[in-house]
Amino acid sequence: MTPDDKQPLQAKLGESLSKLKKVGARKEILGNDGSYVRAVIYHRVYANMLFGILASYERGTHQLTVADDDDAEMLSVEQVAPPKNDENKRQEFLEGVCYFGVFKNHVVLVPSRALGAKPLENHLNWILLHAGLLDKNNRVGLSDQIATATRERISKSHVKEVEIGAPLLDTQELKIETGDKGQQLTAFEYGGFGIDILRQLLGADKVNSMRLADAVDGNIEVSLKIRYKRSTTVKAHKFLDNIALAVRNLDEDEVRLKLAGGGTVQGSELKLSAPISIQARDGIPNPDDIFSKMRDWLLQQIDNKIIEP
């Protein structure tokens, strides 16, 4: 959003959801064949906060099953299609679910492995653009909030080394039409932070010509260190501090800081997070319980001045 845009995200998103009342209007269709769907499947205002559930699924996906038979010599794998509901509507197996809450320009979320901050950020931009509340030249960015104490610790002691480590490959499965009776082949696209560094270092053509498939599941990691050896200038110290603050949006396991005054800061300390216990029935969380606890946690951070109002 532009700096002179005074309408907070909560108001913009609420207006977008009001315009796009039907779920069909809120479906973000992804993938080469349009089978991948991401949508806000539920939303409501609770105690002056806007809450919602973002879900993703692939149309027509079947689950693989195996019969648990201890007396059998071998087991066979079968596919199970999702059953229809009581209204005879086709159901789909969910890939991921992300519960989120928006208060003014603050966003709090309970992510899943498949749906986290980045997919939520992408979908919020899509839905705001789709509803006409954001133009294509602007964008909403979600940035992890650092606790005031951690920020002051970095500012006081300064950063001596920033270490970023990530898996070499992040594979994404692609479906490719062969043109032969509509047959599909499965291929993989190799990306991610680690391989991007290697492509910059060695050249994309050289890296892409390697047998990247041989590195899949090989537990290969890439590590990037930004540091000074003995001494540095005041301006360079500030430069390193700014890098340390900027990498907070990476996965917490990928980042570690060494401070000039001694000690380290782990990636988890660069993000505000806390575990919560939630009510669930048949493995399905109670949204009201999640939303209430998300609200209480966020307001506690504001009241304790850990984050700005």
Task: Identify whether residues 78 and 110 lie together within a single domain.
Answer: yes
What is the count of structural domains for the chain?
2
Q: Residue 127 above 60 pLDDT?
A: yes
Is residue 2 assigned to a domain?
no
Residues 253 and 205 in one domain: yes
Domain membership of residue 105 (yes or no) is yes
23-79 pLDDT, tens digit each: 999 999 987 778 899 999 999 999 999 999 999 998 888 888 888 889 988 888 888
- The answer to whether residue 176 is domain-embedded is yes
The chain-wide mean pLDDT, for the chain, equals: 83
**Range among 25-34, 167-176, 179-188, 270-279 rated most confident:** 25-34
If asked whether residues 98 and 124 sit together in one domain, one would say yes
Burial of 53 (C-beta count, 10 Å sphere; 0-12/13-18/19+): buried
Q: Are 67 and 86 contained in the same domain?
A: yes
Please give the residue that has the higher pLDDT: either 8 or 200: 8
Same domain, 140 and 183: no
**Nearest 5°: CA angle at 267, between 243 and 228?**
40
Question: Same domain for 135 and 169?
Answer: no
Q: Is residue 229 part of a domain?
A: yes
Strand partners, 65: 78
128 and 277 share one domain:
yes
Q: Could you please report the per-residue DSSP string of 41-52?
A: EEEEEETTEEEE
At 205-245, the pLDDT tens digits run: 888 888 777 777 777 877 888 888 888 888 888 888 888 77
Q: Say whether both 166 and 264 belong to one domain.
A: yes
Contact 109, 101 (CB under 8 A): yes
Does residue 83 share a domain with residue 128? yes
| Residue 140 structural domain | 9-145+273-303
Instruction: Give me 33's structure tokens.
Output: 């064949």
Same domain membership, residue 281 and residue 200: no
Question: Using CA atoms, how far apart are residues 175 and 205, in angstroms rounded to an integer?
Answer: 23
